[in-house]
Structure 1
């Protein structure tokens, strides 16, 4: 399986402002790929170039085997787009939106109805298809926009901040639909997000973007593993004595004493929780609780950019 999106040194400059700076990107076919970064990082500008809405100032890009400048029409025929801002007409029904989009994309008339019914089932709007969009919830509107982007069987679906402004429960339901369409429609999904949890739970691979540049790209699990340490927090009687005991263990990278807690940095902490509990039992310490924390993508972002995503 090859890459369905590739860029080499792609950049976009506005006068003295470099919005995207020499980005190299490789997106595997049939993956869910996330570009993670704060507002203003250049995420929307990057996908706007990949969608042929903007011309790059320099560099090159390929989408589905087509050059984004020389073969822009071929690129547009093979992609679907859902942008941050809503683009729905409240006085149309859900079905009418899909019919209009299918006609614009040249979906043959003889298969149009069947394809619309397939998409309505995929986005779970079949029972609301003939109701006006103004009666839809925020989550239903977002699902309709995603369905509209799928109507012509695109090879790549671009989602720009797909869950922005949605409540946590609705956000998780959108994640499930994105996973389902990736699986059932064989479509590659490239999404931008500033939600750490979204990138972590949804994406096969993540590119961290800051100030117009891709700082690091890998799977969420590999990015977190590179930090090299889990944190085990042990609440124990005589914490100062237990801290002195733990710092002597070979598997402990660092240990900190915080009130009645000992915080221990280790690799693959899930394997060492039993070891630490057994050590306490053998040496006469009473353990009140043990908590294991893995590194987060927020930790990774801070590691590579020097600041948190909210601060950025």
Structure 2
């Protein structure tokens, strides 16, 4: 394996380990442990939880001082945390000193001595015996990272994307302006919607939004979507199906039904383009950081991208193009 690939794999492992332990493990110690156990999450979790009393051997000490892979990963992640801390301090108005005091500092003596790792284990072991902490240790030992899928939208850049993000850190960054956002609220999501008509027991998909109903093509009843579906590669490869031209009650729908509802707008891409309206219907709110979360490999991963490819892209300092939104033709759409 090349040194470049080793850095990518080690960085992924360190990010995942720190997320599993909710950011309680400093970057340098997480990197040392992951390198020692060759990215074996279970072994590292056991080392921390069981608090093994073992000094670093000569090979570990040599790695800390001379291993380019370890050094590069530690420097990158610590720089990332320091910059994030400074941004949080500016946005919240907190003093720089109080923020910097929370950041791990690079120290050869601190990392070489296994006593620091032992103290870390002690701190983790005396955490309150709560369901949340029990779940954290259980997930860490099993190398699990609970995640959820959310829609995000940047009004400034007029960009819409979906991300799989950690449950405890539901935040995503716009890849153009680099600002962080909270998810679009569930009742304001839009896109390819799933409908179920109680009158005729018919289910169908089409463009829609959660807060406005669309007519059923069979019984003409107005129904609300049950959910907005994230885009998938296989959505266009589901074989032949019946297609209905989109039509809704929105005032600006390109195929408007009557009587239309004044003041409503259609979310179908054709209607948005025809009326010179932006892609973003309901923008995400800017994220206000509490300083309690850490950057993770999962938080920047999209549904259509691989984590490995994203980190390679990040290391190469190249921005890839935005994902194109799924534009599959729907049976109906909400306004």
Could you state the TM-score of these two structures normalised by the residue count of structure 1? Answer: 0.26
Q: Which structure shows the bigger proportion of residues in strand conformation?
A: 1
Could you state the TM-score of these two structures normalised by the residue count of structure 2? Answer: 0.25
